[in-house]
Every structure is written in C-alpha cells, then in structure tokens.
Chain A
Amino acid sequence: MTTKTHRVLPGFGLALGYTLVYLSLLILLPLGGMILKASELGFGQIIDIALGERSLAAFRVTFGASLVAASINAFFGLIVAWILVRYPFPGKRFVDALVDLPFALPTAVAGITLATLYAGNGWLGRYIEPLGFKVAYTPLGIVVALTFITLPFVVRTLQPVIEDIETEVEEAAASLGASRWQTFVKVIFPAIFPALLTGFALAFARAVGEYGSVIFIAGNLPLISEITPLLIISKLEQYDVLGATALAVVMLALSFMLLLTVNVLQWWAANRHKNNEPLEAAAGRAAGGAQ
C-alpha cells in the first residue's frame, strides 16, 4: 500500500507543471524577451542610457512619487480598512465598493478627471491654488494620480487581516489595563504589519509602472515632471526600440530590488510575530507596560 496522501484537487505533479507553464508563458517569456532584446546593447550602453540627465530625472520622479503615494496609502488606507471592517454604518457596502473603483476605471479617464478637478479653474484647483498648492501639471499632480490608482491595494490587503483579529484580544488588553494607544502599538499593529507591507509593496509596484493617469496631469516637462514610462514611449515614438528596452530593463531591476527589500522586511516581520507570543500574551504584555 502506498502512503500517498490524497488531496482535494488531483495531482500535485500535474498542478505544479501547469503552474510553471502558465507563469512562464505569462511572465517569464515576455520579461525574458525584453532582457534578450536589451542584451543587444552592451551593459555599458544600457548604463549610459540610464544615466542620461533626462533618464535620471525621470527615475527620481517615478520612484520618488511612487514611494510617496504608497506611503500615503499605507497610512490612510489603513484607516479606511479599519473603518470598513470594524464599524457598521449606513451605506457601508457602497463605500466598500467605492474602494475598488480605481481598479476598474481606465487610467486615462482617471488622469483626465483628476486634471479637470485640480486645474486652476477646476472644482478643487480653484480653492487650493490660491493657497499656493499647484497640483495639476506639477510633480505633486503625479503623486495625486498615483495615490488614487493605488488605494485599493492597501485597503484590500489589510481588510481580511483586520477581520481576523478578534475583538476579544483588544478587550483582554483593555481589561488588563492597557491604554488604547498601547493596545494598538503592541497588539494590533504587529499583527497587521506584514499585510501592511504587502499592500505597500503592491501599491508601490503598481505606481512605478503607471502611465495613462499620470501623463494627463503631470505636465511632462523634461527634468521636472517627466516619468520614466513617458521616456520609454518617447523612445518608441522615435523608433528607438532598443533604447526603450534598456530603460525598461533598468526599471525592472530597480523595482525588483525594492520589492525584494520589502519582501525580506515582511518575512522578518511575520517571523518575529510568529516566534513571539500569541495575541493573548501580547495583550497581557501591552497591559504589563501600563502597570
């Protein structure tokens, strides 16, 4: 008799094979093709293209704005997710559905709408521009567009995790004398931190590649508000496919490094949490700090 364990879905071998083929076709093949194309240029040439003044400025704008947007969403997205999970209120389902809208909207539509809102004569622009905040056609506009586009990533990643935290844990912490702040910092935050990092990483990755919504609000001035995807398109418009691929590969490498860093951080956070005490103990510890 075999000791083979039976799973609900048939065949690990088959499923793994399928997974590998599927991922290769969808992800490895296109990316491999891109790297192969870029390898027609020497490594030195790729670096030259990446270190051009306009490219450097574009990388700064792209990665800078993406980091800012992902951070903004990590903070405000957490609040949104918390409210959506913890509090009942009228129209909750509607608000919950609103979160997904940036997913569904064609990005160009989002860009044009945001530009209309924030232009000097727009609904919002006419009030904030006199205060000295010029949003449309500045790097700030890029941050706004990216924040809009990436909101669902943080909220949707956090929601199930927050749902899993039982309120009893908080009650236990409170009954043991922990303040609200201590409960949050020592009990809740460690539990949701890994998910928060995942949401942040997803939002960041999405923002780096964003094109449609940004070009309508960015202003696209060289060295000031040009994003790297625009430079790539610009090179394609010049039929410089190799140059475009070089920029794309550099972008890919930078994103990969950043995502790897976030993943390591996340792994570290998750592990630390696992090795630590269970939530109930954490509640006690939080309370202990209060005594």
Chain B
Amino acid sequence: MTRFHRSISGLLLALVAGAALADASLLNSSYDVARDVYKDYNPLFQKYWKQKTGETLELKQSHGGSSKQVRAVADGLEADVVTMNQANDIEFLAEKGLVAKDWTKKFPNNASPYTSAMVFIVRKGNPKAIKDWSDVAAPGVQMIIPHPKNTGNGRNTYLSAWAWALKQPGGNDAKAQEFLGKLLKNAPLFAAGGRDATTTFMQRGLGDVLITFESEAEMIAKEFGKGNFEVVYPSLTLQTEFPVAVVEKVVDKKGTRKQAQAYLEYLWSKEGQENAAQNYLRPRDAELLKKYAAQFPPVKTFTVDEVFGNANKAFSTHFKDGGSFDQIYVQK
C-alpha cells in the first residue's frame, strides 16, 4: 500500500468512526441569520441530551432563505426539524403533509420560542427626527428595506406599517393602502435580502432609515460600532415570531421523533431561552426578559394573527400576485 492509499483509508476509517460515535443525528433546516443562534444552541442541547439519556447526538445545520429551505424540505431534504422566520413557510409543509396540521399547538407560544420586533435604525443624532411610521413616510425621507414580496424581513416591515395605519384615528384598509403607497415611494431601492439592506444602509451610506429586526441592530453594533447609529422604537410594530416544527414524515422514517421533539422543547428551557437572549432575540421567559431589560426596552407590538387573522391570510391579501403590494405599484 502506498502512502497515498494509507492516508485515504485512514481518512475513510476516521469518517466511519466519527459517524459511529454518534448514536443518532438530527438535521435542522433553518433560515439564514439563525446560524449563530443554533451554533450556540446545539452544544447546549447535546450536553443536556447526553446527561439525560447517555446518547451522543450529532446535530447538523442547513441555512438559507426561509422559503428556499422549506422548498428543499418539501422536495426531499431530510430535515428532522424546521426552524423558520415565517409561519406561512411551515404552513406550506403542513399542506404537503410533512408537518402536523396543528403544528402551532405542539409547542408553547404558538410554537415560537423567541420573538423579535421590527425597529428603525437611523443615523447618529437622528438628523431627520424619525420617531414613528408617519415620519418614515414623510416627503424627502429615504427608507431602506428588503424586497417586501421576496423576503420575510420586507414583509414584516410592510405589515407593521399597515397595522400602524389601521390603528390611526379613522384608519381602514383603504387608508392603510394609501399610507403604504406613500411609504414605499420613499424606498429608493429594494434590497435583495436583510443583510444586503444592512450593507446598503451602513456601508454604502444610502437612506435615512433602515427598517429591520431588533436583533439585527445588535449585529450592526458589533460590525460597525455602536456610536454610528441609533435604534428607534416606533409606537406600534410587529412582533415577529420564529416558528419551529418537527417534520413528521422524516422523523418517522429515521426513527428520530424522540430526539427531534426534545431538541425543539429544549428551546423553551432556561438554557435555551438564555441563548436566545444572548443572540438578541426576545426570550418568552418573563424573568429572563427582565434580566435583559437593558437590551430589550418595552415596545408596543401586535402579532400577525391579531391584526391579519393568520399568516396565510396576511400573505395572500398582501403579497400574492395581484395583492395589495402589486396594486400599489400598478396604480402609480
């Protein structure tokens, strides 16, 4: 055997041994920016599971755009669990029979272990004095958001503004649509995704206000320095949820139901919730929320279900082809 052959077979042996060391493996298919959250969470769960059952669990992550990930799972990517940023993505899997129809009831809090809120990021000193949604829609203000039709982030901004307009004196759907028209006119572009919007605002210096997740604001602080921008909480904004579900078809086939269920349940444990908070996502645990109060100032939020009925309804009235978003543009 040549040295080359020996090193190859050594490599193969190591691979086989590595796989044999784990008693089971789970694949978590998740949205793009959740990478860090689950990178920190997985070792916590592995330790907990080892202590509880003695089983060594291998945890794999797959990240991409939320809807893209869900399409992959629907097309046969063998993910045991899905952790997403839009309920209608998981709803799609439920329609396909991959996820239980009543998936929102399988875990507490609508099956969403943590939340975030849509906030405004403005330049240092807030030169355009942007306090609320009406200021963003004022003439001469430039707003940077990702594409509302193609990204969860952009959709959340749209729905936040719509709900705010509904709650104004004399507010109704027609007025809300008119308000959104004014608001969208202030967008000089639609970014390709959440991170692209952040770069456009911070690095390219374009726009007066960036609308994004509260958790993204902390990422920006880490990346660009705290002193370069301010976070503004509007008077009403969307509480964004991050729903999770077990992929029934896959766990039945792989025999990993027990592990998958525990993996998601543990997100609600003290450790899981603390991990979320450390990643700047609002934990559901009231005590922890108090502990991290400096990081999460109180903000008046609404959920999609409260204002729009449910995620699917919100999606089809506003973002489906011919929906309110398209109407705003075709009317112009």
How many chain B residues have a CB neighbour from A under 8 Å? 30
Given A54-B326, A237-B150, A119:B205 Cβ within 8 A? yes
| A171 part of interface (Cβ distance < 8 Å) | no
B266 within 8 A of A: no
Asked if A54 and B204 sit within 8 Å, CB to CB, the answer is: no
| Contact mask for chain A residues 218-234; partner B; CB cutoff 8 A; 1 contact, 0 none | 11111101000010011
Task: Give the nearest-CB partner of B66 in chain A.
Answer: A237
Q: Is the CB of B329 within 8 A of A234?
A: no
Choice from A221, A230, A243 contacting B189 with Cβ under 8 Å? A221
Cα distance, A215 to B326, chains bound together (Å): 19
Min CB distance, A54 to chain B, in Å? 7
Identity of the chain B residue whose Cβ is nearest the Cβ of A243 in the assembled complex: B321
Chain A residues closer than 8 Å to B92, beta-carbon distance: 239
Contacts of A183-226 to chain B: CB distance below 8 A: 215-216, 218-223, 225
Q: Mark B52-81, 1 if CB is under 8 A from A, else 0.
A: 000000000000010110010000000000
**B2 in contact (CB, < 8 A):** no
State the Cβ distance, A219 to closest chain B Cβ, in Å.
Answer: 4
Interface residue tally on A, bucketed by range: 20 to 34
Beta-carbon contact of A233 and B150 below 8 Å: yes
Least CB distance, A124 to chain B, in whole angstroms: 13
Q: Does B294 contact A (CB under 8 A)?
A: no
Complex Cα distance, B203 from A230, in Å, reads 24
Q: Is B320 touching A238 in the complex (CB atoms < 8 A)?
A: yes
B190 engages A221 (CB within 8 Å):
yes
Interface: B173 (CB within 8 A):
no
> Interface code B135-150, partner A: CB below 8 Å = 1, 0 otherwise?
0000000000001011
Within 8 A of A (CB), among B281-332: 315, 319-321, 326, 329-330, 332
A219 contacts B150, CB within 8 Å? Answer: no
Bound Cα distance from A220 to B200, whole angstroms? 13
Q: In chain A, residues 34-80, which have Cβ atoms closer than 8 Å to a Cβ of chain B?
A: 52-54
Q: A243 to B321, alpha carbons, bound, how many Å?
A: 10
Q: Are B204 and A240 in contact (CB under 8 A)?
A: no
| B204-A237 in contact (CB<8A) | no
B204 touches A121 (CB 8 A): yes
B145-165 CB contacts (< 8 Å) to partner A: 147, 149-151
The reply to whether B187 and A240 contact each other, CB–CB distance below 8 Å, is no
Alpha-carbon distance between A259 and B191 when the two chains are bound, in angstroms: 32
Tell me, in angstroms, the Cα distance from A119 to B321 when the chains sit together. 31
User: Does residue A273 face the partner (Cβ distance < 8 Å to B)?
Assistant: no
Contact B204 A238 (CB under 8 A): no
Per-position 1/0 for B165-200, Cβ under 8 A of A: 000000000000000000000011111100010011
Bound form: Cα–Cα A223–B188 in Å: 13
The 8 A-B residue pairs with the shortest CB-CB distance in the complex, in nearest-first order: A219-B189, A119-B204, A137-B189, A222-B329, A220-B190, A121-B205, A215-B192, A237-B67
25 contacts between A and B (CB under 8 A): A53-B330, A54-B329, A112-B196, A112-B199, A116-B203, A116-B204, A120-B206, A136-B204, A137-B188, A216-B192, A218-B189, A219-B190, A220-B147, A221-B187, A222-B329, A223-B329, A223-B330, A223-B332, A234-B147, A236-B71, A237-B67, A237-B149, A237-B151, A238-B149, A238-B320
Please report A residues at the B interface, Cβ cutoff 8 Å.
52-54, 112, 115-116, 119-122, 136-137, 215-216, 218-223, 225, 230, 233-240, 243
Other A-B contacts than A137-B206, A220-B147, A230-B150, 15 sampled, CB-CB below 8 A, are A52-B321, A119-B205, A122-B204, A136-B204, A137-B188, A219-B188, A220-B190, A225-B189, A234-B150, A236-B67, A237-B149, A238-B149, A238-B321, A239-B67, A243-B321
